[in-house]
Chain A
Amino acid sequence: MARRAATLPILRRLADTAASVRLSPLLPKPDVPNARSVTYMPRPGDGAPRAVTLIPGDGIGPMVTGAVEQVMSAMHAPVYFEKYDVHGDMKRVPEEVIESIKKNKVCLKGGLKTPVGGGVSSLNVQLRKELDLYASLVNCFNLPGLPTRHEGVDIVVIRENTEGEYSGLEHEVVPGVVESLKFCSERIAKYAFEYAYLNNRKKVTAVHKANIMKLADGLFLESCREVATKYPSIKYNEIIVDNCCMQLVSKPEQFDVMVTPNLYGNLVANTAAGIAGGTGVMPGGNVGADHAVFEQGASAGNVGNEKILDQKKANPVALLLSSAMMLRHLQFPSFADRLETAVKRIIMEGKVRTKDLGGDSTTQEVVDAVISNLD
């Protein structure tokens, strides 16, 4: 950021000329983004392998987590997995799994099937609440080489993960009348702006319905506005959730980072994921003050359906990209870069694609292609 308010005209002209010379057309632009992680200077001992809790989960979960395991060992990444069996029909997440995550601080998981309309409360939600993973993040972006109806999409949806409509507080007042309670508070706004600041994002948009839910979403908006004043270089605006969904399907390029309460976050994240390529390719994770759990970004159909399971055609790209996010979180940036580059290359080539991207490959074929494309 320039410190001086006004530059002398002659200096400004020299600066402009210098800039145009730097962008000389004689130098070819590399087709892969320039990764400069060679400048990451670790402390002695940072290369010691890190333990990561792994929960394969249900449905396509074991297939895609298996894919990650294969790629990690092919890269010789300094992570090793402590695998735990958790299934959606268990009453609670087993104590030993929670202990493991608390010890390792980082977890990678496939989806856990949630029974619809009755029975146990979702184990996915239970895990998030128990570890207080209050921020959920999905990065929805166009992958070069993958055609979609919308271009120029690069949105990060940051969603409050523990309260809001998913508090699980419901009760029946009289037979035939049920109430559900929604809580709202402030930490998610702070996380969203901090994320934007650390990742060089230019704009944060708060998504709400405060014209109807004046107190609840009103509180959410107030906290966003307060935090926005502390980050003057980041633009802040607000949008009502129904308008937001409409804008997402017509002009998605206007959005950068979006911060939302729990329920809207689910809808907005899935809509954004849908326009950018689908649940099969969007990475994401959940983070709290002490722990982080990485999983596929968008939650719709997380456990897949029977046919995909039988034919072994689940798309591992989303979880592979999430594991790259995990590697960065663990401060292994060059491994993260290599993994992402390999994945982006095979998407760009387009020869190996699973069914949801319009191809016919199996999960294993995609994994083999990624491994052979690793630098």
Chain B
Amino acid sequence: MATPIGKGHRSLNLTLRKELNLYANVRPCYSLPGYKTRYDDVNLVTIRENTEGEYSGLEHQVVRGVVESLKIITRAASLRVAEYAFHYAKTNGRDRVSVIHKANIMQKTDGLFLKCCREVAEKYPEITYEEVVIDNCCMMLVKNPALFDVLVMPNLYGDIISDLSAGLVGGLGLTPSCNIGEGGIALAEAVHGSAPDIAGKNLANPTALLMSSVMMLRHLNFSDKAEQIQNAIVSTIAEGKYRTADLGGSSSTTEFTNAICNNL
């Protein structure tokens, strides 16, 4: 849903997340076999705290020309997302969870987030736990993304790192995401924005939303159906005959979708 820049109402995406208490945003990024990018060995999952941090929406103008913005970090929310991250790692057979932070500068806010993650890490001794400063993380991601497995971080860093990871594997047209809420609520959505420039022209890449629905099916425990659809998508892209514009091809949305259906 489109959000006006620099003015206007609060983002509806954010409002939905707050209302439904969707506290974790999960985005798996892996290199698609058959679609070559500069990085071949990406296989990571970013888990981003979704309700607070820098995106609390609390800003005010102190005097003309000086504005303040509040970043809120709470123990409850940090514990919640850390718990989910380790739980996800365990149930999906992932060995390592890395916390991304800037606690050397923002000692109290990111420090609190770190403390919570450390507490949860102690309950999962079989999973390797590490802490990485955000700038070092960016550097490592662009030099050697294979170093990362599951990443968990507060809101702003999560936003940036998950998009960066999407860029490593081929862009926003390919990346799915799922927002997890308390009580088992899940909202699967594509990562990309509303793309007003190509709206209504049958040019958009549906892979992201299709992959998101695969995540949703897994969440609903329909893993075999999920597997089927995912394999169809991956093989269609690998074949290379039908690709939308953002992947370098010239198919329309409907052509691409039909190719996937044929591959089921």
Contact = CB atoms under 8 A, between A and B. Distances in A.
Interface of A: 114-119, 121-122, 125, 149-150, 165-166, 168, 170-172, 175-186, 209-219, 221-222, 240-243, 245-250, 263-264, 266-267, 269-271, 273-275, 278-279, 298-301
A249 B71 contact: no
Interface string B154-191: 00110111111011100110000000000000000000
A215 to B, nearest CB: 4
B59 A216 contact: yes
B133 A242 contact: no
B26 interface: no
B6 interface: yes
B38 A178 contact: no
Interface in B26-73: 37-39, 54-55, 57, 59-61, 65-73
Given A219-B67, A245-B164, A246-B172, A121 B14 contact: no
Contact of B103 (A116, A177, A210): A116
B68 A181 contact: yes
Contacts of B104: 114-117, 122
Interface string B128-163: 000101111011111100000000000011011111
Interface stretch (B109-117, B198-206, B254-262): B109-117
A176 B70 contact: no
Contacts of B4: 211
B72 A176 contact: no
Contacts of A183: 66-68
A215 B135 contact: no
Nearest to B14: A212
Contacts of A245: 138, 160-161, 163-164, 167
A266 B5 CA distance: 22
Contact of A300 (B76, B108, B133, B156): B133
25 contacts: A117-B114, A119-B107, A165-B71, A178-B72, A178-B74, A179-B109, A180-B70, A181-B69, A183-B66, A212-B3, A212-B14, A213-B55, A214-B8, A214-B59, A215-B67, A215-B69, A217-B6, A218-B6, A219-B67, A222-B6, A249-B142, A250-B167, A271-B139, A271-B141, A274-B138
